[in-house]
Chains A and B, each alone.
Chain A
């Protein structure tokens, strides 16, 4: 099968869905050339650097029968649009009694590794998970990126596509034939019997690398990628933990009130799952600090395969 990058897979999803539905249009502060060439500058607009306005414009256009696709670029810039995201987009369907649909795709990049310091290295998806009314995806492979993003564009709600900075050039198999990946369906990236690692985005790959190391030590690791954070595939997480009895959660975000905390609660709040657990949950996350610039410090702050291996050994030793 052909291989394309994570970034290319996202672009393919956009092109296919914009061909499919003339009600889609694209707003971002830089208009991608490939989209402008095919769809023209009416449907693919470069906006002023005014994320609050362009996010609100998406809400109003969606409520008027269109299907806007917004690229905030780095997630940092979404914070400039917080009123429109938190007070408007997330609540407007509910607040108005479900009168109309607001199908909006928000794309944004998250995570570190680019030596761009505190503002541009964030992974704040749990802030958005805390709101009711937004769906969100966090793909880890080109295949999932394309299939999930196509589903997101077709969804009738505001959905945020969090996309990993570290994976933009990562190549993987993507079929030529059309396909979609449903929201709320986790994917087992590696089968195992001793311990479950629930890993997010780039850390899926670090977890897979850790699993190889641990395999040589006789530990059979299962790696589960939730792929979507809202809706979260609670059934798959619980089933995996029930099978192995042990849970490590690997997330590039900090631990405090993070997606990792939610995933831990999903497993441990469930009596049936809890009864089968042989050890406490272990989270392998970034340190709870703003991300520093210099490589020595940045790499120390973010978790990687070594931290995951250490985390697994700790849980296995209980």
Chain B
């Protein structure tokens, strides 16, 4: 289905927002203003953006430890995201979650998760909830090539297929599980091939082509809304940065491989296409980027001006009242 120019520009804006947000998060992490660990999604922006562009606001997604892109693509507020990274009480999780546990249930973003494959059963439960409600909602599980080798992937897809849950399983195959190559751990080079074992559609798409991701998701969403059950979409992509932003972390990936993927930059490719179609001008693109940078600066200011949580907060929210 052809998208309006406005919608395509919006998708571009989301991709660039993810990139600029993470560039800033990485800088601020290295400056010591953001704590713990930050996993960057840079290079993979087309996946979250293309998938979420095919969803309705009340559809649900679950993320991974590399969650900023999914948050932004589902419509999360940058200020509350940045405040969470900064550990402030105005953050999405009141400063208790950090980068690895950002969630906004009000927009259907069921959380980033520190356990590889941990989110897959949880979002499958959201899919069961959607089926029981019968209002046509769908749920999307984002996960990586690493998670596709873990039990919860297989258990969840089997249940979703057996019960025809309105699920879309999106594998972001960035070719490495932390520092271990998918080539050395996947029995079949394509995760999508596993769909055959569950009698559901499985497709491989260019994860650096946002429109290809969008089209595949559209098809899977239509199937899910039509009570025909789950689909598996494997997006071949690549992260430009190390597994985490920690300086000195192990990264065995050859520079030539990283460079080759950077030449397939999902944002540059999309911008070039949009310019060819006359959908955006160079000036408008620059202006968009400046707007995004200003918005991110605002989010940082919001975070810095927000207080840290009161110490009493440490014992709050262990249980719901």
Residues in chain A within 8 A of chain B (CB atoms): 25, 42-43, 45, 47-48, 50, 52-66, 68, 83-84, 87-88, 92-103, 132-133, 135, 156-157
B115 touches A50 (CB 8 A): no
A64 touches B151 (CB 8 A): no
B126 at the interface (CB under 8 A from A): yes
- What would 29 A/B residue contacts be, using CB atoms closer than 8 Å? A42-B132, A47-B159, A48-B158, A48-B162, A52-B152, A53-B152, A56-B156, A58-B125, A59-B121, A59-B122, A60-B123, A60-B124, A60-B128, A61-B126, A63-B110, A64-B60, A64-B129, A68-B125, A87-B115, A87-B118, A96-B93, A96-B103, A97-B95, A97-B96, A97-B317, A98-B317, A99-B103, A102-B320, A133-B319
Closest to A60 in B: B125
Q: Cα distance A59–B60 when bound, in Å? A: 14
In B143-174, the 8 Å CB interface with A consists of: 151-152, 155-156, 158-159, 162-163
Closest to B151 in A: A52
Residues in chain B within 8 A of chain A (CB atoms): 60, 62, 91-97, 101, 103-106, 110-111, 113-115, 118, 120-130, 132, 139, 151-152, 155-156, 158-159, 162-163, 316-321
CB neighbours (8 Å) of A59 from chain B are 121-122, 125
Closest to A58 in B: B125
Asked, given contacts A64-B60, A87-B118, A88-B118, whether A94 binds B317 with beta carbons under 8 Å apart, the answer is yes
Q: Which 3 A-B pairs have the closest CB atoms?
A: A56-B121, A60-B125, A98-B317
Closest to B114 in A: A87
Asked, given contacts A47-B159, A53-B156, whether A98 binds B94 with beta carbons under 8 Å apart, the answer is yes
Asked, given contacts A50-B155, A97-B92, A98-B94, whether A63 binds B126 with beta carbons under 8 Å apart, the answer is yes
CB neighbours (8 Å) of B156 from chain A are 53, 56-57
CB neighbours (8 Å) of A60 from chain B are 62, 110, 121-129, 139
Q: Choose from B92, B103, B115, B159 the contact partner of A53 (Cβ within 8 Å).
A: B159
- Of A47, A60, A103, most buried by chain B (CB within 10 Å of CB) is A60
Asked, given contacts A88-B118, A99-B103, whether A94 binds B126 with beta carbons under 8 Å apart, the answer is no
Asked, given contacts A66-B129, A94-B96, A98-B94, whether A56 binds B320 with beta carbons under 8 Å apart, the answer is no
Min CB distance B147 to A, Å, is 12
CB neighbours (8 Å) of B316 from chain A are 98
A53 touches B155 (CB 8 A): yes
A56 touches B129 (CB 8 A): no
Q: Choose from A43, A61, A95, A101 the contact partner of B93 (Cβ within 8 Å).
A: A95
Q: Cα distance A215–B159 when bound, in Å? A: 57
CB neighbours (8 Å) of A88 from chain B are 113, 115, 118, 122
Q: Cα distance A52–B118 when bound, in Å? A: 9
A95 touches B319 (CB 8 A): no
CB neighbours (8 Å) of A43 from chain B are 132
- Of B114, B130, B132, most buried by chain A (CB within 10 Å of CB) is B132
Closest to A90 in B: B318
Q: Cα distance A50–B151 when bound, in Å? A: 9
Q: Cα distance A53–B92 when bound, in Å? A: 27
Min CB distance B238 to A, Å, is 28
CB neighbours (8 Å) of B127 from chain A are 60
CB neighbours (8 Å) of B105 from chain A are 63, 96, 99-100
CB neighbours (8 Å) of B321 from chain A are 156
Q: Choose from A83, A133, A135 the contact partner of B115 (Cβ within 8 Å).
A: A83
Asked, given contacts A92-B111, A93-B320, whether A48 binds B128 with beta carbons under 8 Å apart, the answer is no
Q: Cα distance A252–B103 when bound, in Å? A: 41
CB neighbours (8 Å) of A100 from chain B are 105
Q: Cα distance A43–B101 when bound, in Å? A: 31
Min CB distance A293 to B, Å, is 29
- Of B60, B106, B155, B319, most buried by chain A (CB within 10 Å of CB) is B319
Min CB distance B90 to A, Å, is 10
Min CB distance A174 to B, Å, is 28
Min CB distance B120 to A, Å, is 7
Min CB distance B272 to A, Å, is 39
Closest to A134 in B: B319
